[in-house]
Amino acid sequence: MSADLERVGQAAKNAAVSAAKLTAAEKDRVLNQCAEALESNSEHILKENNCDLESAEGIKESFRDRLRLSASRVKSMADGLRQVAALPDPTNEAVSMKNLPNGLAVIQKRVPMGVIAVIYEARPNVTADAFGLCFKAGSSVILRGGKEAIRSNTAIAQVFRDVLAANGLNPDMVQIMTDTSHETARKLMRLNGYIDLLIPRGGAGLIRSAVENSSIPVIETGVGNCHIFMDESADINKAVPIIINAKTQRPGVCNAVEKLLIHERIAAEYLPVIAAALREKGVELRGDKRAVSLVPDVIPAAEEDWHAEYADLIIAIKVVADIDEAIEHIRTYSSNHSEAVITENYTNAQRFLNEVDSAAVYVNASTRFTDGGEFGFGAEIGISTQKLHARGPMGLKELTSTKYIIYGNGQIRL
Amino acid sequence: MSADLERVGQAAKNAAVSAAKLTAAEKDRVLNQCAEALESNSEHILKENNCDLESAEGIKESFRDRLRLSASRVKSMADGLRQVAALPDPTNEAVSMKNLPNGLAVIQKRVPMGVIAVIYEARPNVTADAFGLCFKAGSSVILRGGKEAIRSNTAIAQVFRDVLAANGLNPDMVQIMTDTSHETARKLMRLNGYIDLLIPRGGAGLIRSAVENSSIPVIETGVGNCHIFMDESADINKAVPIIINAKTQRPGVCNAVEKLLIHERIAAEYLPVIAAALREKGVELRGDKRAVSLVPDVIPAAEEDWHAEYADLIIAIKVVADIDEAIEHIRTYSSNHSEAVITENYTNAQRFLNEVDSAAVYVNASTRFTDGGEFGFGAEIGISTQKLHARGPMGLKELTSTKYIIYGNGQIRL
């Protein structure tokens, strides 16, 4: 363990002790001040962001776009902090309470996680989002953003540190790792004893690296190979808008649909209609042999297509014999993020909901709804695709832990 | 990934699909049949256990005792299964339900974990306990016990597999790993995509190995360096029985107390009384300089004593200036399992409960209560000392996950 990293970990652990003691009112006041301070330091942040953009010449435009800040993006970050301030404090509620026969009162209480580390890529807005949520949840946070965004991230975090210090609070409640090497990231992933939770936010490679290398508990987020199964009894008037919405409303995100499975009894009639609607939105169509035979301009799909998260205007289509084959296909290839069935058949709707083992399973609705904001959580830190601790959109509650507190009166165990 | 292990993983995954579909009544019937079958196969199990004991010559007696079965221990395992059968099914309850403004009904539902792996050491009863809990929770389980218990474990698991098969169910809902090498255990810990949760049950070395090597989500269980802080206002009539109970009622378990912190203002008066009571129970006393000076036969403690989980009739005593020093000491050395304060001071009781960051924090009660049975869970798979997913005694609910199911009516995201 490197001494520098241990210092960061120890500082975060000390700050977590103070963070856990803050009242909801204190936290909300600080968050609102941080929002103000972001806006009043907008010019400086944009200047630093510009330096990042200049250093990052030669990178592709989509990456540049994620890295780029503007006055309105800074304002969005500030508004995000204000929204988090307005949410209820997730800590200190009783999850359960019971009196044992011997008179002990056992209360399971929601408490802060402690120290949370977030490893992310190009988006500087994650710096503000992650700080806001972790701070509101009573934890300190160690942020390790991508090297391309280091000046932007440092400027944003410094704004928060200054506000914390001005309030007499420990600024180490938020720390930015300025060493952005992969080696240091891997060491951070093994800082047991200091960090309670690691959240990787980014592409599949980053997530995989965290899952494989971390000895700290990780929450796996965000990879979405989402499916829609159009059952024999599907209503075409629901199916077309749902498929178009799930594929094209925002194709780059993890809850966009990537695969369409269609029942063989309706494929000949409906697939041409759906293909035409998708094509009109500029979607590239790939498919299995039967899809290709029904819609001539469908490109033959390879095995890797069924595994792929395109995050782009591409969809792969497979004609299936029945709901069993659809569920089996999803079981084999899905990343278990979000799947939908379009059906008017009650039994098939229930079977799909019960047997598809994904974080969010829909009947007759777009997969695009898998989102903390849409689910009414107010904000989200990511979408968990694992089964431990949190599954699906993670709001403030998912950033907390619990502990048992027990009020006794001299009880001993017999 | 080895082909053999992948086969085990795939078989468990297939069995998990069937396990998740079982009704509570079906599971309870199978569990009761398994209990009967354990008893009727007692002779065979004891014969196999005897072979294990003969092969294990030369091991120390405490280990031998954990390995040894008897007719009454087999009956205890059977009774354990009957108790689990009598508990409510933890799956299929709604954790939350809400209707979004657009009419979507979003239900967070408790669902089985999927595939659970349990790695354990010498105790063959874990084979029955872990199967019973995982099966009741709707998951399949891969069991990897210690090599010394392989014949006992195989015999017990075969009883369950036969009952499953006789009920027309997939026997792979419980699998025993017959390859008990450390290398295979480490590979098992990296069987992502097949296993959803790994629970190590055993000594500190096993737990550490799982935390460091596993790429599957782990729940860290059971290491207990537990503290009692005797505050200035402590009632000696509560303190002595609590300390004696916490140290001596069952010294080998993780919720036994290992350290006594005592306020300096009462140390001279009470430490000799407590030391005499402990000595009478055969407890070896270690302590810091001040404890040694107050009670002459206290052995000076070394730095490693403050970190140690003795799991034996030993206690280390430290005289502290106040509650701040006590909390700080616990923060530095505790394994965050269970801690207790003995005090009559309201404010100090509240501070201790709020500021000590352990799975279970007590006022005026023995640490020995941290136990699924005592907390009324009916059974436990272990005691989590981590903050993710579960903390403290883990019952059936802690062996489940959740998913969102969403009932729509053609909704698309705007």
Give residue-wise pLDDT tens across range A272-299: 999 999 999 999 999 999 999 999 889 9
Q: CB of A407 within 8 Å of any CB in chain B?
A: yes
A80 in the same domain as A148: yes
CB contact under 8 A, B245 and A413: yes
Strands A197-201 and A257-263: unpaired
CB contact under 8 A, A369 and B411: yes
Asked if residue B30 lies in contact with residue B186, where contact means CB atoms within 8 angstroms, the answer is: no
pLDDT at A133 over 80: yes
Q: Which residue of B has its CA nearest to A108?
A: B360
Asked if residue A301 lies in contact with residue A207, where contact means CB atoms within 8 angstroms, the answer is: no
Give the C-alpha separation, B266 to A20, whole Å: 31
CB contact under 8 A, A215 and B215: no
- What is the Cα gyration radius of chain A? 24
Q: From first to last of its 414 residues, what are the pLDDT tens digits of chain B? A: 578 999 999 999 999 999 999 999 999 999 999 999 999 999 999 999 999 999 988 888 888 888 999 999 999 999 999 999 999 999 999 999 999 999 999 999 999 999 999 999 989 999 999 999 999 999 999 999 999 999 999 999 999 999 999 999 999 999 999 999 999 999 999 999 999 999 999 888 899 999 999 999 999 987 899 999 999 999 999 999 999 999 999 998 899 999 999 999 999 999 999 999 999 999 999 999 999 999 988 999 999 999 999 999 999 999 999 999 999 999 999 999 999 999 999 999 999 999 999 999 999 999 999 999 999 888 889 999 999 999 999 999 999 999 999 999 999 999
A44 in the same domain as A80: yes
CB contact under 8 A, A406 and B215: no
Asked if residue B216 lies in contact with residue B117, where contact means CB atoms within 8 angstroms, the answer is: yes
Domain assignment present for A380:
no
Please tell me which of the candidates B359, B401, B412 has its beta carbon nearest to residue A241: B412
Q: CB of A363 within 8 Å of any CB in chain B?
A: yes
The model's pLDDT over A2-23, given as tens digits with 9 standing for 90+, comes to: 789 999 999 999 999 999 999 9
DSSP collapsed to 3 states, A52-114:
HHHHCCCCCHHHHHHHCCCHHHHHHHHHHHHHHHHCCCCCCCEEEEEECCCCCEEEEEEEECC
ipTM: 0.94
DSSP string, A341-397: EE-S-HHHHHHHHHH--SSEEEEEE-GGG-STTTTT-S--SEEE-SSSS--EEE-SG
Residue with tokens 């994904």: A358
Domain assignment present for A375:
no
CB contact under 8 A, A411 and B366: yes
CB contact under 8 A, B403 and A391: yes
- Nearest-CA distance B54 → chain A (Å): 35
Which pLDDT does position B63 carry in this prediction? 85
Give the C-alpha separation, A62 to A348, whole Å: 40
Domain assignment present for B377:
no
* Phi-psi region at B284: left, alpha or beta (left = phi > 0; alpha = psi -120 to 50): beta
Give the C-alpha separation, A159 to A80, whole Å: 15
Asked if residue A335 lies in contact with residue A227, where contact means CB atoms within 8 angstroms, the answer is: no
B212 in the same domain as B69: yes
Residue with tokens 């898998």: A370
Q: What is the CATH number of the domain that holds B302?
A: 3.40.309.10
Name the residue type at position A119. Answer: I
Asked if residue B361 lies in contact with residue B331, where contact means CB atoms within 8 angstroms, the answer is: no
Neighbours of B169 (CB within 10 A): 19
- Nearest-CA distance A48 → chain B (Å): 34
Domain assignment present for B253:
yes
Domain assignment present for B189:
yes
Neighbours of B86 (CB within 10 A): 12
A269 in the same domain as A209: no
Tell me phi and psi for residue B74, to 5 degrees.
Answer: -65, -40
- What is the Cα gyration radius of chain B? 24
CB contact under 8 A, A413 and B369: yes
Domain assignment present for A277:
yes
A56 in the same domain as A29: yes
A232 in the same domain as A209: no
Q: CB of A392 within 8 Å of any CB in chain B?
A: yes
A296 in the same domain as A186: no
Give the C-alpha separation, B254 to B203, whole Å: 10
User: Which stretch of DSSP H or E encloses residue B387?
Assistant: none
All residues at 6 or more sequence positions from A93 whose CB lies less than 8 Å from its CB, including other chains: A109, A110
Within 2-61 of B, beta carbons closer than 8 Å to A belong to: 17, 20-21
Q: What is the mean pLDDT of chain A?
A: 96
Mutation target among A357, A371, A377, A407 for the B interface, most CBs of B within 10 A: A357
Domain assignment present for B381:
no
pLDDT band at A1 (very low <50, low <70, confident <90, very high): low
A101 in the same domain as A49: yes
Give the C-alpha separation, B338 to B331, whole Å: 12
Residue A391 has which token pair? 């599954």
Q: CB of B76 within 8 Å of any CB in chain A?
A: no
* Mutual angle of helices A125-136 and A24-40, in 10-degree steps: 160
Q: CB of B351 within 8 Å of any CB in chain A?
A: no
Q: CB of B332 within 8 Å of any CB in chain A?
A: no
Strands A284-287 and A299-300: parallel
Beta strand residue intervals within A172-275, DSSP E: 174-176, 197-201, 226-230, 257-263
Name the residue type at position B337. Answer: H
Q: CB of A370 within 8 Å of any CB in chain B?
A: yes
Tell me the pTM.
Answer: 0.94
Asked if residue B366 lies in contact with residue B246, where contact means CB atoms within 8 angstroms, the answer is: yes
Domain assignment present for A413:
no
Give the C-alpha separation, B3 to A413, whole Å: 48
The DSSP symbol for B172 reads G
CA-to-CA dists, residue A229 to A97, A243, A348, A356, B409, angstroms: 43, 10, 11, 11, 15
Domain count, chain A: 2
All residues at 6 or more sequence positions from A356 whose CB lies less than 8 Å from its CB, including other chains: A327, A330, A331, A334, A339, A341
User: For the residues A360-378, what does the mean pLDDT come to?
Assistant: 95
pLDDT at A301 over 90: yes
**Pairs of residues, one from chain A and one from chain B, whose beta carbons lie less than 8 Å apart:** 212
Which pLDDT does position A378 carry in this prediction? 83
Q: CB of A387 within 8 Å of any CB in chain B?
A: yes
Please tell me which of the candidates A237, A362, A412 has its beta carbon nearest to residue B245: A412
The model's pLDDT over A173-207, given as tens digits with 9 standing for 90+, comes to: 999 999 999 999 999 999 999 999 999 998 888 99
CA-CA-CA-CA torsion sign (B226, A16, A95, B356): positive
B362 in the same domain as B398: no
Which pLDDT does position B122 carry in this prediction? 85
Which pLDDT does position B282 carry in this prediction? 97
Give the C-alpha separation, A291 to A271, whole Å: 8
Residue-range definition of the domain harbouring residue B131? 3-220+386-407
Chain B residues in contact with A235 by the CB 8 A cut-off are 410
Please tell me which of the candidates A114, A190, A407 has its beta carbon nearest to residue B363: A407
Pick from B232, B259, B95, B68: which is nearest to B151 by CA? Answer: B68
CB contact under 8 A, A387 and B114: yes
A337 in the same domain as A286: yes
Q: Which residue of B has its CA nearest to A360?
A: B404
User: For the residues A325-349, what does the mean pLDDT come to?
Assistant: 97
B165 in the same domain as B63: yes
CB contact under 8 A, B215 and A212: yes
Q: What is the CATH number of the domain that holds A204?
A: 3.40.605.10
Please tell me which of the candidates B368, B376, B410 has its beta carbon nearest to residue A364: B410
Q: Which residue of A has its CA nearest to B361?
A: A405
CB contact under 8 A, B360 and A403: yes
Q: CB of A235 within 8 Å of any CB in chain B?
A: yes
B275 in the same domain as B207: no
